Structure 1
C-alpha cells in the first residue's frame, strides 16, 4: 500500500497536469471535501468532478507546494495556487488537510487565504 504522503503527492501532480481522471483516482468514491471547520463543498466522485471540471480547464492552473506536514494518515499541505479567476490571473494560498484511508483520500478540508490578482502594467500614452 502507498503511504498517505505519496497519495497526496500523486494528487498534486495530477492537479498540476490538469488530469481530472488521475486526480479523482486519488480520492475514495465516497470522499468528501469541506471548507475547513465548515460546510461540505462536495461529496462523492460526481460532485467532486463537477466542482473541479472548470478549474482543470484553466490554462494557468498550478499548485506550488510551500510546505507539507505528515502525521499518520493526515497530510497537511500549504500551497500557493495560480488560477484564472473571473477578474484575471492571480494566486491564492491554501491550507489543504487530507485524510487518507485505505490508500485513498477520504476527506479533504481547505482554508483559503486572500486572493491576489496579478498586477497589470499599462502602457504610457
Structure 2
C-alpha cells in the first residue's frame, strides 16, 4: 500500500514539475523574454509540426526562430484554454493572439505537447487544427 501511495505522489510531483516548466515557458513567451524562454529547453530540443515533421533539432536553431518571431510582432499573447498533464508530459490547447508590425491582429489555435526530462523541455509537438 505504501509503495502505491509513494508511486502516486512521485507521479503527481513529476506532473507538477512538468506543468511548472510549461508555465515558465508560456510566461516568458508572452513577455517575449527570449533568455527566460530558452532557459527551460534542453540543448537538443526537438520541435515537430503535426507530430511528424522536424521543425527544429537544436536549441540554437530554436533561439534563432523565436528571436525572429518575437521581433516581428508588436502584440503577442498565448492563453492555455485546456490542459492535460501526466507524468513527464503536458498537453495544452492554446489560443495565440498576435499582431505583426503594421498588420491586423490575428488569432490561431494549437495543441502543444511538451515532453520533459532532466528538468528541461526536451520535445514539443504542435498540432494546428484545421477548421
Give TM-score scaled by structure 2 length: 0.80
More helix by share: 2
Distance 1:114 1:60, change over 3 A: farther
Question: In the alignment, does 2:52 pair up with 1:38?
Answer: yes
Partner of 1:106: 122
Q: CA deviation at 1:73?
A: 0.2
Q: What does the per-residue CA deviation read over 1:4-35, in whole Å, with 9 as the maximum and x for residues that have no partner?
A: 11011000000001001100111001111001
Alignment root-mean-square deviation, CA: 2.0
Task: Spell out the pairing of 1:1-125 with structure 2 (5 A cutoff).
Answer: 3-57=17-71, 58-85=73-100, 88-113=104-129
Q: Which runs of 4+ in 1 moved over 4 A?
A: none
CA contact (8 A) 1:92 1:114 kept: no
CA contact (8 A) 1:32 1:42 kept: yes
Q: What does the per-residue CA deviation read over 1:43-98, in whole Å, with 9 as the maximum and x for residues that have no partner?
A: 11111011111211211111011011101100001110012358632000010000
Gaps of 5+ in 1: 116-125
Q: How many residues of Structure 1 are paired with residues of Structure 2 in the alignment? A: 115
